[in-house]
Structure 1
Amino acid sequence: MEYLEPKNHEAEEALVGAFFLDETLIKDCTIRPDQLHSWELRKIYSAIRSLDDKGRPIDVITVVEELGIPTLQTIGGVSYLNRLAGSVPTTANFHFYEKLVKEYHQKRKTIQIASKMIEQAKSSEITKTLSDGIQELMEVGDEHDEEESSDIKSALVELYGECEKDYGEMVGVPSGFSHLDKMTCGFQKSDLIILGARPSIGKTAFALNVAVNAAIQDVSLFFSLEMPKIQLMKRILCLSGNINSIKMKNPQKEFEDKDWEHFSKTIGKMSNINLHIFDRAGMNVSYIWSKVRKMRKQYGEQKRIMVVIDYLQLIKGDPVHKQNRQAEISEISRALKTMARELNVVVIALSQLSRGVESREDKRPILSDLRESGQIEQDADLIAFLYRDDYYTRDTTQKDSMEIILAKHRNGPTGTVKLGFNKEYGQFVDLEGYVVI
């Protein structure tokens, strides 16, 4: 099926013709040559932009010289340029024409993407077709968003209004752990938070604790690339209902009456919290973004949303960077930060650490231990590492505890918080009398 491409030739002519009337307009114009439908006007507009880049005046004579005789003849000659230059009586409506040109370009791009999706849907995997198509449509929408105002007056009014609100002690999404929340004031919307640890330290367990705590008042989205939903739910029921995780492996055989009671109560409690789990293998950023956007639309701006991704290195990257894992991870990291800002959500991405930790006497992680750390470290607003002394030292005095090391905190202090860790339940708790260091 073929579609007629939407176009507004008059608006494009008025846009390009306006530069002959007022050449300073080119400085403010945000239109790209490829956004014009008419190839003749694209050639003329490109010549005008080239003249501006060279610091030369813009008029019929200079445009003729910039185009060259062969090109000039294909677009209608000097007579067409003269007609174009004389067709615009005023530049008062220039920005209206500019907006029209952008809108028609947006319509054409949307039709092209939709047409491609129709063809791909006939033969390709439908989930990939939808995921890629949604991402491309989002990019079209973002590209053509109205240019935001740089005026600070509205921001000052908004700031004044924010300062009049009483948020209590918790500005962001609470983690559920008082000492950690004191350092962060809760996890802040639009922040990218990296949670790093070596395997088997307890990243997923801690992330589940935080996600469940947040979902009681706010909304938590948990993207698991490593573990199926049913396994995660078992762990959630254990940590929330004080149920032994070993017994949970075979409840029919191992559960006692009190376990069944805790199990039933916890299922009832969990059914009332705002927790959503996505466990599709091989997720890419487009898939994650589409689900978060859908949830933002469902809950509106009134609800704070926390997005937890377990874990960063398992996200499927762009095949273009298949041979360069560092470039692939860098692109994923930037995309997650952009998602946090644009959808106004907290993003917590779990991350594996390099084996360099194991070679040091002090096994506490540092920033350079992050795999592909350069871009991740730059994009993250907060980087926290998990450390358990009893994981490395069997006879330690620091048993059943976890250090949360805030190694980077763009908008607050760094330091270490210690939590109690009950391995039986996979549950974290505040330690009484503990002082943040």
Structure 2
Amino acid sequence: MQSGFIDRSQETSGSYPLDKMVGSRRGFRQEIDFTKEGRVPPSAVEVEQEVLGCILLQGEAIERVIQVLGEDAEMVFYDFRHRIVFKAMLRLYMRREAIDLVTLSDELKRNEELEKVGGNYYIAEISNKVATAANVEYYAIIIKEKYLYRRLISVATQVSKLSYDQSVDVFDLVEQASQEVFRISQAGIKKKASDIKSLLKEATRMIESLRARKTSVTGVASGFSELDNLTAGFQPSDMIIIAARPSTGKTAFALSLARHAAVETKTPVLVFSLEMAEIQLATRMLCAEAFVDAQQVRTGRISSGDMTNIVSRMDRLSQAEIYIDDTPAISIIELGAKARRLKQEKNIGMIVVDYLQLISPVKEGGKSNREQEIAQISRSLKALAKELSLPVIALAQLNRSVEQRSGDRRPQLSDLRESGSIEQDADVVMFLSRPETYGIQNFPDGSSTKDVVEVVIGKQRNGPIGDIKLKFLKQYGRFETMTTVYTSANLEQATDDSKMLRAADDIERASLPPASGMMLNPDDAPF
């Protein structure tokens, strides 16, 4: 039996099916007969006859019906007789045989189902319901809507009954109900294909708009000119994967992108932090913005100059629209719901997820392996990017094969942990690599690898691949272009008097007692 709530129907001779829901979590398996609830579930039996009549009139109409009804199309029909008839039509269609009164009657008779549906008399009655198949899609939409209403009633009724059982874990019940409602929403009326004429008009308007811009960055800018030259910014509807091994600077890089988008381009950003607490994330952002050593902040050895920088930059950062959600092990359903709400309320323009493999998948019926779960999460994030028309940046862990290779240690697409579907779904895949962590002291051109992170674009669906080098200022959790390495000039941008304060800080910090248990590696800091 599948986990969760299962919509079932039972065929009863001469009557409509009994809608049943079975709750299988924690041993709750009671069946509910909704005909005893005092009301008849929503249905449109005559419209179902018209749908079947259209198909009998014009066999090709079944293709339009399937497009509207989607998967398990026969379950959309409320009358069990109509389910049997439609399944017989599907069998004929799959065999590429004609669908008419003669072939349908023969197919039902072959499967000993003709008498169940009322014989040839009822089949003839259905065929006389319509004079044209022109409105078959409209009829199909009506019965699909009734079907979705029935599913909602089934879920709501079962949730109501289980809610009275005090032994049921309320959070399990909420999650289960959310998953069922999500499945219903996914089963909604499918989007129709667009004609090329209307698409070309829209494409022309977009091209004219891009041509009028004074910059080549058409998406959300990253803040790194070389990267933006390759990507033209993070584009709406794109899923961007940033993958690396642990302690490479993934989170710091993602926060840098979020900070630049919100502060410099005034783009509202939503950050889902599944690994770190929201206060830790905010602290890291503030340290990066204020050029303050995150390790010193953690140990409490903060000088007056550091505090001046923090206070000065906090005002600027606090005006940015950055929303952080640190729900641990958030489900892909909850993540999508929160993103949709923030899109509506705050018009967010970018989403950052740290990180993909920590998201909880929707529990499907039967057993699923980790690769299937990651594939589901990956598809859902891509679908969310398209639905909200914004870039979704998702961090991902790489497997250990990077460290086991000899020679070139730069990550490859095959290194993505647990699922090749991430590579398939992503529009852009970026890898972060720190050669110095593997004992490599120099790049092939002879330049030093110290504090340098390579950003390797391994895939870009609509652009070139390539790589750039960035300076990683670990103590601040900050990335800079190689031509804008941290100097006193950078510090002057933080506060007017920061250059003098920094000199005083060095003297003041030297007089502070060492903190016990101080971490030597800034990457190990919890913020």
TM-score normalised by length of structure 1: 0.90
Aligned pairs (5 A) from 1:352-363: 352-359=397-404, 360-363=406-409
Spell out the pairing of 1:23-62 with structure 2 (5 A cutoff): 23-30=59-66, 31=69, 32-62=73-103
Deviates more, 1:316-325 or 1:224-233: 316-325
Of 377, 381, 390, the residue aligned with 1:336 is 381
How far does the alpha carbon of each residue in 1:349-408 deviate from its partner, in whole angstroms, 9 at most, with x for none? 212122222232332222222212522222221111112233333865332221111111
Task: Establish whether residue 87 from structure 1 lines up as the match of residue 87 from structure 2.
Answer: no
Give aligned-pair identity as a percent: 36
Corresponding letter in the other structure for 1:7? S
SS of corresponding position for 1:350: strand
- The amino acid across from 1:222 in the alignment is V
Deviation at 1:127, TM superposition (A): 4.8
Moved more, 89-98 or 156-165: 89-98
Which residue of structure 1 aligns with residue 185 of structure 2? 141
Tell me which amino acid in the other structure corresponds to 1:240. E
C-alpha distance in structure 2 between counterparts of 1:224 and 1:80, whole Å: 59
Instruction: For structure 1, list consecutive stretches of 5 or more residues without a partner in the other structure.
Output: none
Letter in 2 for 1:183: L
Q: Distance in 1 between matches of 2:330 and 2:322?
A: 19
Aligned-pair CA distance for 1:227:
0.9
State which of 218, 235, 250 in structure 1 corresponds to 2:267: 218
Deviation at 1:267, TM superposition (A): 2.5
One-letter amino acid of the structure 1 residue matched with residue 467 of structure 2: T
Q: Is the 8 A contact 1:239 1:427 kept in 2?
A: yes
1:102 aligns with 2:144: yes
Report what 2:352 is aligned to: 308
CA–CA separation in structure 2 for the residues paired with 1:50 and 1:362: 55
SS in 1 for 2:192: coil
Aligned equivalent of 1:430: 481
C-alpha distance in 2, partners of 1:232/1:433? 24
Q: CA 1:318–1:84 in structure 2 vs 1: closer, same or farther (change >3 Å)? A: closer
Report the counterpart of residue 8 of structure 1 in structure 2.
Answer: 44
CA positional deviation for 1:98: 1.8
Residue 178 of structure 1 aligns with an amino acid whose one-letter code is S
Amino acid at match of 2:238: D
Which whole-Å CA distance do the structure 1 matches of 2:95 and 2:243 have between them?
50
Q: Where does structure 2 lack aligned partners over 5 or more consecutive residues?
A: 1-33, 443-447, 486-527
Identify if the C-alpha distance between structure 1 residues 273 and 55 changes in structure 2 by more than 3 Å, giving closer, same or farther.
Answer: same
**C-alpha distance in structure 2 between counterparts of 1:415 and 1:356, whole Å:** 21
The corresponding residue for 2:340 is 293
The answer on whether the counterparts of 1:312 and 1:350 sit within 8 Å (CA) in structure 2 is yes
The correspondence for 1:239, drawn from 288, 292, 302, is 288
Q: Return closer, same or farther for 1:14/1:184 CA change in 2, 3 Å cut-off.
A: same
| Structure 1 counterpart of 2:249, from 202, 222, 229 | 202
C-alpha spacing 1:390/1:20, structure 2 compared with 1 (3 Å) = closer
Count of residue correspondences: 429
Considering only aligned residues, what root-mean-square deviation do their CA atoms show, in Å? 2.5
Q: How far apart, in 2, do the equivalents of 1:92 and 1:318 lie? A: 39
Distance 1:281 1:274, change over 3 A: same
64-73 or 414-423, which moves further after superposition?
A: 64-73
1:141 & 1:331 partners in 2: Cα distance? 16
For the residue of structure 1 that corresponds to 2:114, the secondary structure is: helix
State the SS of the aligned residue for 2:122: helix
Letter in 2 for 1:110: L
Question: Which structure would you say has the larger Rg?
Answer: 2
Aligned to 1:372: 418
1:72 corresponds to which of 114, 121, 130: 114
Q: By how many angstroms is 1:129 displaced?
A: 4.1
Q: Helix, strand or coil for the counterpart of 2:223?
A: coil
Q: Could you tell me which of 213, 226, 244 is aligned with 1:179?
A: 226
Residues 192 and 349 of structure 1 are in contact (CA less than 8 Å); yes or no, is this contact kept in structure 2? yes
Taking the aligned partners of 1:225 and 1:22, their CA distance within structure 2 comes to: 53
Moved more, 27-36 or 227-236: 27-36
CA distance in 1, matches of 2:173, 2:313: 39
1:170 alignment partner, SS class:
coil
Contact 2:223 2:257 in 1 (8 A): yes
Distance 1:135 1:186, change over 3 A: farther
Rate the CA distance shift 1:345–1:130 in 2: closer, same or farther, 3 A.
farther
Q: Does the aligned pair in 2 maintain the 1:132–1:286 contact within 8 Å?
A: no
The 1:118–1:211 alpha-carbon spacing in structure 2 relative to 1, beyond 3 Å, is farther
Aligned match of 2:435? 389
Deviation at 1:425, TM superposition (A): 0.8
CA contact (8 A) 2:435 2:441 kept: no
What residue in structure 2 maps to residue 413 of structure 1? Answer: 464
Whichever residue aligns with residue 61 of structure 1, its letter is V
**Is the contact made by 2:241 and 2:428 (CA closer than 8 Å) also made in structure 1?**
yes
Cα distance, 1:273–1:121 mapped onto 2, change above 3 Å: farther
Contact 1:131 1:290 survives alignment (8 Å)? no
Does 275-284 or 361-370 show the bigger shift?
Answer: 361-370
More helix by share: 1
Q: Is the 8 A contact 1:367 1:373 kept in 2?
A: no
Q: 1:417 to 1:128 in 2, by over 3 A?
A: farther
CA distance in 1, matches of 2:105, 2:54: 17
Report the alpha carbon displacement of residue 146 of structure 1 after superposing the two structures with TM.
Answer: 4.8
Aligned partners of 1:222 and 1:308 also within 8 Å: yes
Instruction: Rate the CA distance shift 1:386–1:152 in 2: closer, same or farther, 3 A.
Output: same
Give the TM-score of the pair, scaled to structure 2: 0.75
Q: CA, structure 1 residues 120+242, in 2 after alignment: closer, same or farther (shift >3 Å)? A: farther
Cα gap change, 1:62/1:357 in structure 2, threshold over 3 Å: closer, same or farther?
A: closer
**In 2: Cα distance, 1:215 partner to 1:127 partner:** 34
